[in-house]
Amino acid sequence: MFKLFKRLIFSSLVQLVFVLVIASMFYSKLHPDTVRFFLTVSTCLKGLLVFVLPLLLFSFVAVALSSIPRDGMLFILGLMVIVFISNFINVLISGAVGFFVLSGTEARMIPEDVAVFTPFFEMNLPQIAGTAQSLFAGIIVGLANSFHPNKYVSITIKFIHECVMKFMKKFFVPLLPIFVGGFLLKLLSEGKMLGFVGNNTKVCVITCGFLWIYLGFWLLTASSFKVSRAIEIFKTTFPAIVTAFSTMSSAAALPMSLNAAEKNTGDKMLADAVMPITLNFHMVGDTIIVPIMALMVLLVFDHPLPSAFNFILFGVFFILNKFAGGGVPSGTIMVTVPVLEKYLGFDSSMTAFIIALYGVIDPITSSGNVAANNFFIIIFQKIRSFIKGLTSKQAL
């Protein structure tokens, strides 16, 4: 019982909800300078995050690609191409649904002529590299080190990766409630949070409902549209889904996912090869919910919806950044911060807003990611068998 209580207390979700409640109850009683103090702390933490993110992106990609054996490179790259296409289609579908649902809603609620709170100072650290440069550098170094392994390159990228992960897990993630709290106090004090829940609950419910309807289609596809087979697959996958929901972690559900994938495909080698890769990169829950959420935040802050071109650019880099989201609570949304700012025009307040929202719905996205990956491996097996069949016929 004590362990369960301790786990709840240190849960990112519980801490974020606690910060939301406390900030909402006491913000009006705080002196403006107190609000500015917490805002300054949050702004400095954001500066540190933006400074470290290029190293996070580079090291994740480089380490992941370096670890791929040369003889398995073609299989892994083929799988990653399929996953990228799947993620991109998900983002386009999410964007279409988001534009359709939000275009007729009145989410603009920012009051005019209110006091604007600014930090006492900002930490303007130099930018090491852009998102695109970090990703491409990681790809080049990782692929080169996979084909021609070099001891010193491997040690260097692993060292960078371990340092960045220690910073994220030991420093930034524990301070995540404070990071969000400072921006929340600013939003509340400026009146920018007023009416959000009442005006956008319907959109949030529609978004989460659409995710599970979409996953239902994936389940039917995996079962070849046979209801009895679909029920069997879902029953086998259910423990992994529940684990992901309760822990907000696809990694925590990996043992159950591997077991379910082996039972559903009858191929342990395929399960062991595919599931760990799709775990950190193929995130259907995120690619459906985050784009709609981003569009909703734009409207909440009285920004116009983006052009189709800007949304597609956002989608491409949002997907590429997923290389670096694994292993960190709320990692998906944190590594997306530069992309949101560059292609959708997010500012610091909007960033804090979407991180807080993501923290609350993280159980839904995590369970959606795990469910989709368990259905995906069955579909992938069918595609692989079909290609093998065609190849055999051509050989004859």
> What is the secondary structure of 299-341 as a DSSP string?
HHTTPPPPPHHHHHHHHHHHHHGGGG-TTSTTHHHHHTHHHHH
Question: What tens digit of pLDDT does each residue of 19-54 get?
Answer: 878 888 888 888 889 989 998 998 888 888 888 888
Is pLDDT of 222 > 80?
yes
Least confident of 93-97, 104-108, 119-123, 203-207: 104-108
If one counts every other C-beta atom within 10 angstroms of the C-beta of residue 291, the result is 26
160-173 exposure pattern, b = at least 16 Cβ within 10 A, e = fewer: bbeebeebbeeebb
Predicted TM-score (pTM) of this structure? 0.77
Q: What is the mean pLDDT of the chain?
A: 81
The model's pLDDT over 273-308, given as tens digits with 9 standing for 90+, comes to 788 778 777 889 999 999 998 998 888 887 888 988
pLDDT at 6: 56
What count of other Cβ atoms lies within 10 Å of the Cβ of residue 53? 24
Q: What is the pLDDT of residue 250?
A: 79
374, 378, 381, 382: CA torsion to nearest 10: -150
User: Which of helix, strand or coil describes residue 223?
Assistant: coil
- Whether pLDDT at 377 is above 80: yes
Confidence bin at 211 (pLDDT 50/70/90): very high
For the domain covering 2-73+81-395, report its CATH number: 1.10.3860
Predicted local distance difference test score (pLDDT) of residue 3: 59
Ramachandran sector of residue 333 (left: φ over 0; alpha: ψ -120 to 50; beta: rest): alpha
C-alpha dihedral sign at 199, 204, 205, 207: positive
Instruction: Output the CA torsion 202→97→101→365 (10° steps).
Output: 20
Q: pLDDT tens digits, residue range 126-158?
A: 877 776 788 788 888 888 888 888 888 889 999
Helix or strand holding residue 136 (H, E) = helix 131-147
H or E segment to which residue 179 belongs: helix 176-189
Residue 127: DSSP 8-state: P
Q: What is the mean pLDDT of residues 177-183?
A: 81
**212, pLDDT greater than 70:** yes
How confident is the model over 361-373, as pLDDT tens digits? 888 888 999 999 9
Q: What percent of the chain has pLDDT over 70?
A: 84
| Contacts (Cβ under 8 Å, ≥6 apart) of 3 | none
- pLDDT at position 290 is 92
Q: CA-to-CA distance for 199 and 221, rounded, in angstroms?
A: 35
Nearest Cα to Cα of residue 341 among 307, 365, 318, 309: 318
pLDDT given for residue 210 in this prediction: 92
